[in-house]
Structures are given as structure tokens and as C-alpha cells.
Amino acid sequence: MEEYQKTAIDMNLQPYDDDEINEAIRLKEQLKCGETHYHWARKYTEFSMLEKLREHVGLGKWSHNYKLASRNINADYSEMLSLFAMSEAKQDMLLVGSSNSGMVEPLT
């Protein structure tokens, strides 16, 4: 809700009113009991992993699309030189498409 609220007006969407936001925050804090990770959900659902929680609430069918959409956006940071395709590059560049670089290197 907090993220939605940040852009609702710019996206021509109806923002939540203060009472709705305050109630959601109150409920969230009540459920979490101060915990900052997903383990708080275990006492209600027997699950703490995000994937299992999605299935539990009936949103598991969206997992594949969510992962595809998030894969490169939320990827871990990688040094440019650690990428196989950069092994032959003379300068930093953005990689697009497949590469044959590193195909003969042993797996580690």
C-alpha cells in the first residue's frame, strides 16, 4: 500500500485515504509482532518462504510470471569483469544477447 500510495495520483489511480493506511499499518504490526522478515507468517500458515506464502493465499499461479519479471531487475550485483562475455572486452559495456565467451572455461 505504501508503494502504491507513492505513485497513485501520477498513475491516475485512487490513493488510499489516511484511515485505510493507518489501519493497514496497525494490522501489519499486530500480525508481525515486531518481526522484520517473513518468519512471522509461520505462526499463521506454517510457512515462512515467500513462494509458499503465495501458494497458501492462492497466488501461486503468478509465481512464474513474477520470477520472469523480477529476474534481471532484482538480480544480485555482479562486477562487470566477472561476466564471461566481458573476458574479451577492452572496455566496460552493457551486454545484450548471448555470447560464446567463456564457453571453454571449466566450471567452478
- What is the pLDDT, as a whole number, of residue 79? 64
CA 69-11-53 angle, 5° bins: 40
Grid cell 552493457 is found at: 94
- What is the pLDDT, as a whole number, of residue 92? 77
Instruction: Give the cell for residue 66.
Output: 513474477
Q: How would you write the pLDDT of the chain (108 residues) with one tens digit per residue?
A: 888 899 989 989 999 999 999 999 898 888 888 777 767 778 788 877 777 888 888 887 877 776 766 666 555 555 665 666 677 778 877 777 766 665 555 555
Which residues, 6 or more positions from 39, have their beta carbon under 8 angstroms from its beta carbon?
Answer: 48
- What is the pLDDT, as a whole number, of residue 22? 93
- What is the pLDDT, as a whole number, of residue 74? 52
d(CA 101, CA 83): 9
Using DSSP, state whether 79 is helix, strand or coil.
coil
